């Protein structure tokens, strides 16, 4: 049968445009958040992280925004490139544990 995973939320953007991927987290006690990128056939790759005492953090072409009031996390990718095509996962962590809770991924498709 068809996998539910084939209905993964998908964001399609044109090469050069900016991408915004959103994530809602569940635990108000979570104080550390990570974005991972997973390309087909590979394990998740760390992109950027943010602690709950911050609301914004920038990396190379990526920015993570944290809104604790509504428990929302977003990943912004500037000047999206074909190599950015992947599934993106957010993960949350509560301070008293090393375990990560992963959200449902978003598939980013970049068109020329």
Partner 1 sequence: EADIYQTPRYLVIGTGKKITLECSQTMGHDKMYWYQQDPGMELHLIHYSYGVNSTEKGDLSSESTVSRIRTEHFPLTLESARPSHTSQYLCASSAPRQGARETQYFGPGTRLLVL
Q: What are the residues binding partner 1 (CB under 8 A)? A: 3-6, 8, 32, 34, 36, 41-46, 49, 51, 87, 89, 93, 98-105, 107
> Which of 14/104 has CB closer to partner 1?
104
Q: Measured from the CB of residue 4, what is the shortest distance to partner 1 in angstroms?
A: 7
Residue 93: CB atoms within 10 Å: 20
Name which of 18 and 27 has its Cβ closer to partner 1. Answer: 27
- Distance from C-alpha of 21 to C-alpha of 108, rounded to nearest angstrom: 8
**Three-class SS state of 41:** coil
Cα dihedral across residues 78, 79, 80, 81: positive or negative: negative
At closest approach, how far in Å is the CB of 42 from partner 1? 6
The answer to whether 52 and 65 are in contact (CB under 8 A) is: no
Nearer Cβ to partner 1 (2/112): 2
Residue 16 beta carbon to partner 1: minimum distance, rounded to whole angstroms: 26
């Amino acid at each position: 049968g068809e996998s539910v995973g084939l209905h993964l939320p998908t964001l399609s953007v044109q090469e050069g445009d900016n991408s915004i991927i959103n994530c809602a987290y569940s635990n108000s006690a979570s104080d550390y958040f990570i974005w991972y990128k997973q390309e087909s056939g590979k394990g998740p790759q760390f992109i950027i992280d943010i602690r709950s005492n911050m609301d914004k953090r920038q990396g190379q072409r990526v920015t993570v925004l944290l809104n604790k009031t509504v428990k929302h996390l977003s990943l912004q990718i500037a000047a999206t490139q074909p190599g950015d095509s992947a599934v993106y996962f957010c993960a949350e962590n509560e301070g008293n544990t090393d375990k990560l809770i992963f959200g449902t991924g978003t598939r980013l498709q970049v068109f020329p």
